[in-house]
Amino acid sequence: MSEPRPFYALIITPTRELAHQIGEQTAGLNLVQGKSICTVYVVTGGQSMIRQGSDLARGPHIVVATPGRLADLLRTQKSYADSGSVPEWNLSRVKVLVLDEADRLLEDNFGKDLAEIMSALPQNRQTLLFSATYSGAVKRAVESARATAIAENRNPPIIWESKGITESCGLKTASSATVDTLSQYYLITKPELKDAFLVHVIDQFLNENSHSLIIVFTNKCKWCHLLGLIMSSVGIQSAVLHSSMPQSDRIAALTSFKSSHVRVLIATDLASRGLDFPTVDAIINHNVPIRPKDYVHRVGRTARAGKAGMALTFADLFEIKRLKAIQTFIGSLQV
């Protein structure tokens, strides 16, 4: 990047929040003597497509995008290519493609949008996949890339695997799914007592750890709102984050939490992937995650970079089966 060129790199990530975080970090890394040596543009939903098309036409050096919005922009570009009514731009000059949180991109409902994006990219490029879990979808993608490379007499993909997990038919096959500095606990309780226990644990933890932050994960948007109201009623300030919120409210919630204006974030799995909160010391699962790997991503928001962290999962009698699946997946949990 000593001589930046338009559309040098494209970074695809599954959520708006993660896209904006990557954009901020990338912009900070390319400062030289206080001046930016390349332009970074973030493309996500919740913003004007007309403005985004105009900004892309200026040829940013690095684009960070969610697949849905970028694919929509590409389709719009195709539809109006001959009319001259939309600014012209394309991805034919991309040299580096990054798929962040690749397991989710390849497993969730991003297939159609990813296909649209891939068709607009040049064949002669470097592709990097990053994933906390080496899932079946990631493995199949790597094997497909290897077969294609061999058939075309190119270098096969290189796999670097840090301490993490590999999935095979839903089972963990590596030595550890979570870091050693994370203390993990669960509490089996009646459904009607969960909220009372949650308030007690949060209040006690905040009083004993004056600078720590807590993320409470729950499975549905409506439960986020309900828990936010409960926290407010007992005098605990919190922020709420889920996919049904307007983008401006999402950004405001994250900003408030990152700045420690509020010390409790109540979120769906929208906040479980990639987001970096250095001062989060505790994760509380108000519900048992539906998939074991979702648990791994949730608790991965704490105990980062060698720091200690704590994860507590509340489970009622209807969630025991899911809890046991997590225990099998990660090794063990403490009562």
Q: What is the CATH number of the domain that holds 244?
A: 3.40.50.300
pLDDT of the residue at 148: 84
Quick check: is 93 in a domain? yes
Q: Are residues 316 and 195 in the same domain?
A: yes
pLDDT of the residue at 81: 67
Quick check: is 49 in a domain? yes
* Total domains, the chain: 2
Q: Are residues 209 and 267 in the same domain?
A: yes
Quick check: is 175 in a domain? no
Q: Are residues 76 and 198 in the same domain?
A: no
Quick check: is 120 in a domain? yes
pLDDT of the residue at 188: 96
pLDDT-based confidence at residue 71 (cuts at 50, 70, 90): very high
Residue 170, pLDDT above cutoff 50: no
Whether this prediction's pTM lies above 0.85 is answered by: no
pLDDT of the residue at 335: 57
Q: Average pLDDT of 116-126?
A: 94
Quick check: is 1 in a domain? no
pLDDT of the residue at 51: 93
Q: Are residues 188 and 326 in the same domain?
A: yes
- Residue 34's domain comprises 9-161
Domain boundary among 105, 132, 161: 161
Question: Per-residue pLDDT tens for 294-316?
Answer: 999 999 999 988 899 999 999 99
Mean pLDDT is highest, among 122-126, 260-264, 294-298, for 260-264
Q: Are residues 193 and 157 in the same domain?
A: no
pLDDT-based confidence at residue 174 (cuts at 50, 70, 90): very low
Quick check: is 166 in a domain? no
pLDDT of the residue at 171: 36
pLDDT-based confidence at residue 168 (cuts at 50, 70, 90): very low
Quick check: is 155 in a domain? yes
Query: What percent of the chain has a predicted confidence (pLDDT) above 90?
Result: 63
Q: Are residues 64 and 195 in the same domain?
A: no
Q: Are residues 289 and 214 in the same domain?
A: yes
Query: What percent of the chain has a predicted confidence (pLDDT) above 70?
Result: 88
Q: Are residues 326 and 190 in the same domain?
A: yes
Domain boundary among 126, 161, 196: 161
Domain boundary among 105, 130, 161: 161
Q: Are residues 143 and 198 in the same domain?
A: no
Q: Are residues 88 and 208 in the same domain?
A: no
Quick check: is 123 in a domain? yes
Q: Are residues 262 and 151 in the same domain?
A: no
Q: Are residues 21 and 152 in the same domain?
A: yes
Residue 275, pLDDT above cutoff 90: no
**How far is Cα 75 from Cα 116, in angstroms, rounded to an integer?**
8
Residue 165, pLDDT above cutoff 90: no
Q: Chain-wide mean pLDDT for the chain?
A: 88
**Three-state SS string across the chain, please?**
CCCCCCCCEEEECCCHHHHHHHHHHHHHHCEECCEECCCEEEECCCCCHHHHHHHHHCCCCEEEECHHHHHHHHHHHHHCCCCCCCCCCCCCCCCEEEEECHHHHHHCCCHHHHHHHHHHCCCCCEEEEECCEECHHHHHHHHHHHHHHHHCCCCCCCCCCCCCEEEECCEECCCCCCCCCEEEEEEECCHHHHHHHHHHHHHHHHHHCCCCEEEEECCCHHHHHHHHHHHHHCCCCEEEECCCCCHHHHHHHHHHHHCCCCCEEEECHHHCCCCCCCCEEEEEECCCCCCHHHHHHHHCCCCCCCCCEEEEEEECHHHHHHHHHHHHHHCCCEC
